């Protein structure tokens, strides 16, 4: 370790030793108790300032813990002294390097953990380091799988060397496709055969260091894929038809999912391992059944179920140790490979306005919206009806191949607005993405800048928030989209999605 790093480490450990005990002791007060947090993702073209997110959304709404997908310095700097428990993440792309090099792992821990330990200005309550984000996802194949346990081991050793192993736990967020069953019965679930060896190694590691198993759930995708279960089953409706599995009856998707994992864990000897739900939520746009009203029913049902501490048939009165709602904010640059709804998971809109009511820690009060939001000018880009629009499909394709047109998809909030609203929506999305530059509303003369809000009912034409950084226009992946133009011509094109 470089000499300057050693000096900073010694100073940090000294400050940790003499800092008020409440920082680490507060962690122990909830360690075994039920806890709810939120995921805070930043895959957006125009993000709210982290200070606004922390002060006006997290703290104002009583959110006690937050899960980040990386270790963004601006987010962590804003969390200093907040008292909010934090999970930081190692990106999948770094797993190979951290697995192969102990010094790389030590440097990562120094740069992303040690620098946020107690200082005169406070500290970030880092409680977990997540190794990757769903690195065992079936679609990844072997891309990350060989490096997960090695990276986790090296990060754990680095934490131990800094006397943090008992204070910060190493976890690995896993997608629910790590286990499978030849039926819908939870008791029949087992880990995927291609993961058996790696999963045994991971579970042994987690058990040795007292870390929980982290599972991510996607009830909306499960609803789309499983036609045998009703919507009510996912929304915690008490009158939904239960699924019978031997002596156990399952009235909701959540309990089924937890016990599916418990069954898989039990089959390899780790049936008592603590479980954290790392991601769970419901989208509000971009598909059928993705609406704020249904999302509210799901989230309220989930919170009521967790607060009851009823547990599941296989774990009665033992709910997951922690559950993290997905997600805090909408993100217009998330990949839509799995569905157009992927950009609409937020409990809050991209600019911090609550879409519905759910208890995140604020109790019976309504959620508090962000108020110190600086927007761009109140102007929009729409179709110029005084021009010949017979060849407008190419311009719409240009707009949607870069900007977010997910609300125009079937079942989306803007799917029924028709011509020329759908084309204007596409134009405006592109216009806002590019910070309202005049040339981004040209489209060969077919665009027109207006100061009259063109929003139609629930279809909102947004105005971007002002940011201090320029957007990236790198494009990596193609997903086919279709919208109707003039109500008669179906235009199909590829919407290229940022990774």
CA distance to 179, 215, 233, 250, 312, per residue, from 257 (Å): 10, 9, 12, 10, 10
Residue burial 204-217, b: 16+ Cβ < 10 Å; e: rest: ebbeebebbbbbbb
Phi and psi of 6, rounded to 5°?
-60, -40
Of 265, 329, 284, 352, residue with least CA distance to 40: 329
Q: Which residues are catalytic?
A: 134
325-339 burial: b if 16+ Cβ within 10 Å, else e: bbbbbbbbbbbbeeb
**Distance separating alpha carbons of residues 419 and 396, to the nearest angstrom:** 12
8 A C-beta contact, residue 368 and residue 56: yes
User: Cis peptide leading into 11, omega within 30 of 0?
Assistant: no
- For the chain, the distance separating the N- and C-terminal CA atoms, rounded to the nearest angstrom, is 34
Q: Positive or negative CA dihedral for 333, 339, 340, 343?
A: negative
Calculate Rg over the CA atoms of the chain: 24
The Cα 484–Cα 182 span in angstroms is 40
CB 285 within 8 A of CB 413: yes
Cβ(78)–Cβ(57) below 8 Å: no
How many C-beta atoms surround the C-beta of residue 220 within 10 A? 24
CA atoms within 13 A on the CB side of 297: 15
Sequence-distant (6+) residues with CB within 8 A of 69 are 39, 41, 42, 89, 91, 130, 133
Question: Which structure tokens are listed for 334?
Answer: 């998330």
CA dist., res. 365 & res. 221, Å (int): 30
Of 342, 317, 384, which is closest to residue 497 (Cα–Cα)?
A: 342
DSSP letter at 477 equals E
């Amino acid at each position: 370790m470089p000499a300057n790093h050693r000096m900073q480490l010694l100073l940090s450990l000294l400050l940790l030793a003499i800092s008020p005990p409440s920082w680490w002791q507060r962690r122990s007060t909830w360690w075994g108790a039920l806890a709810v947090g939120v995921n805070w993702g930043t895959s957006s073209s125009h993000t709210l300032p982290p200070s606004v997110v922390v002060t006006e959304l997290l703290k104002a709404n009583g959110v006690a813990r937050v899960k980040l997908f990386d270790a963004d310095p601006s987010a962590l700097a804003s969390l200093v002294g907040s008292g909010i428990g934090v999970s930081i993440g190692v990106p999948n792309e770094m797993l190979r390097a951290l697995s192969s090099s102990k010094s790389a792992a030590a440097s990562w821990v120094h740069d992303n953990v040690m620098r946020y330990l107690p200082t005169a200005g406070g500290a970030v309550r880092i409680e977990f380091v997540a190794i990757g984000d769903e690195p065992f996802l079936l679609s990844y194949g072997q891309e990350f799988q060989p490096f997960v346990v090695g990276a986790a081991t090296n990060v754990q050793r680095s934490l131990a060397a800094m006397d943090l192993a008992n204070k910060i736990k190493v976890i690995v967020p896993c997608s629910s496709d790590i286990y499978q069953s030849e039926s819908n019965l939870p008791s029949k679930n087992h880990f995927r055969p291609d993961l058996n060896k790696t999963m045994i190694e991971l579970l042994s590691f987690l058990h040795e260091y007292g870390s929980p198993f982290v599972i991510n759930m996607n009830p909306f995708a499960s609803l789309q894929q499983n036609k045998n279960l009703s919507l009510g089953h996912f929304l915690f409706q008490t009158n939904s038809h239960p699924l019978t599995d031997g002596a156990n009856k399952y009235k909701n998707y959540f309990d089924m999912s937890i016990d599916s994992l418990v069954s898989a864990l039990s089959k390899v000897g780790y049936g008592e391992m603590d479980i954290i739900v790392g991601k769970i939520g419901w989208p509000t746009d971009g598909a059928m059944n993705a609406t704020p009203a249904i999302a509210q029913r799901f989230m309220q049902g989930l919170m009521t179920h967790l607060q009851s501490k009823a547990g599941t048939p296989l774990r009665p009165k033992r709910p997951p140790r922690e559950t993290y709602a997905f997600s805090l904010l909408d993100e217009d640059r998330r990949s839509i490979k799995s569905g157009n709804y992927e950009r609409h998971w937020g409990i809050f809109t991209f600019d911090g306005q609550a879409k519905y009511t759910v208890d995140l820690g604020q109790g019976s009060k309504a959620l508090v919206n962000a108020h110190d939001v600086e927007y761009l000018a109140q102007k929009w880009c729409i179709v110029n009806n005084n021009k010949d629009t017979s060849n407008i499909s190419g311009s719409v394709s240009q707009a949607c191949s870069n900007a977010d047109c997910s609300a125009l998809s079937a079942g989306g909030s803007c799917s029924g607005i028709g011509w020329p609203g759908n084309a204007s929506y596409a134009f405006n999305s592109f216009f806002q993405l590019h910070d309202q530059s005049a040339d981004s509303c040209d489209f060969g003369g077919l665009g027109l800048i207006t100061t009259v809000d063109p929003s139609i009912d629930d279809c909102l034409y947004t105005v971007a928030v002002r940011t201090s950084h320029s957007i990236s226009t790198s494009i990596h992946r193609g997903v086919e989209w279709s919208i109707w133009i003039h109500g008669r011509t179906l235009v199909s094109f590829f919407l290229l999605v940022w990774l």
